[in-house]
Amino acid sequence: MTGHVVPSEGARELFGEALPVAQRYADLLADAGVQRGLIGPREVPRLWERHLMNCAVIEELLPKGADVVDIGSGAGLPGLVLGILRPDLSVTLLEPLLRRTVFLQECVDLLNLENVTVRRGRAEEVKKVVRADFVTARAVAPLPRLAGWALPLLRKGGSLLALKGEQAEAELEAARADLSKQRPCVADVIWVGRGKVDPATTVVRVTVTTETDQATPSRSQRAADGRKKRGRKR
């Protein structure tokens, strides 16, 4: 055990009652996570500020009881942190690599997180079986590709919350046309955790406005719908 992952006062405030469990997770990351190459050793001194806290503030965006799927969880960021902080959420950690899912399952078992499920797989392979109110992702893929994986998983009114860096606004502007072709949606960039983390966490939020199976109807479907509507009016 490295034993030097000490939470700051800000981390203590942010995690509150969940701090002991978050501390155990931080220790697992600093120990087995580093040994197994899931997180770089240079990240250890900044585990709380740069990783756990930066991810934890996303909880501000999640209503009570929401279903959350975290695409490409890696060592558990942000999904595992959200599951620790918010026992009311139902969190699925979706990750294709066995080495990572083994670590994630060990964390879930050791931390006794009954609200967190580990699922091994690629996001593009679960479109027909996974549904969520929110999809989270950090450092997984450029926005158009990420949206292609995430939007089909969302219920109407649900959002993709993509944790992004300084280029978030430019990335969103470049991806807008592509996003609306994938599924009707509205998208913006928001900052969460002001006063809790510095800098605030930048999130690209993409909210879908139709049911899953109504995603962008084809031209022929639209024409057929139009004919039906005119028929009903007569």
Ligand X SMILES: C[S@@+](CC[C@H](N)C(=O)[O-])C[C@H]1O[C@@H](n2cnc3c(N)ncnc32)[C@H](O)[C@@H]1O
Annotated binding site for S-adenosyl-L-methionine: 72, 77, 123-124, 138
Rg (Cα) of the chain, in Å, rounded? 19
Q: How far apart are CA 107 and CA 59, in angstroms?
A: 20
Q: What is the dihedral of CA 81, 84, 86, 88, to 10 degrees?
A: 130
Q: Give how many residues touch ligand X by CB under 6 A.
A: 18
By CB under 6 A, residue 33 contacts ligand X: no
Do the Cβ atoms of 135 and 69 come closer than 8 Å? yes
Which is nearer to ligand X, 11 or 157 (by Cβ)?
11
Do the Cβ atoms of 185 and 179 come closer than 8 Å? yes
Contacting ligand X (CB under 6 A), which of 12, 36, 122, 156? 122
Which is nearer to ligand X, 94 or 204 (by Cβ)?
94
By CB under 6 A, residue 69 contacts ligand X: no
Kindly state the smallest distance separating residue 94's Cβ from ligand X, in Å: 5
Single-letter amino acid, residue 110: L
Q: How far apart are CA 225 and CA 234, in angstroms?
A: 15
Contacting ligand X (CB under 6 A), which of 74, 83, 158, 193? 74
Which is nearer to ligand X, 117 or 210 (by Cβ)?
117
- Residue 141: CA atoms inside 13 Å, Cβ hemisphere, count? 18
Contacting ligand X (CB under 6 A), which of 84, 116, 134, 138? 138
Chain contacts with ligand X (rule: CB under 6 A): 71-75, 77, 94-97, 100, 122-124, 138-140, 149
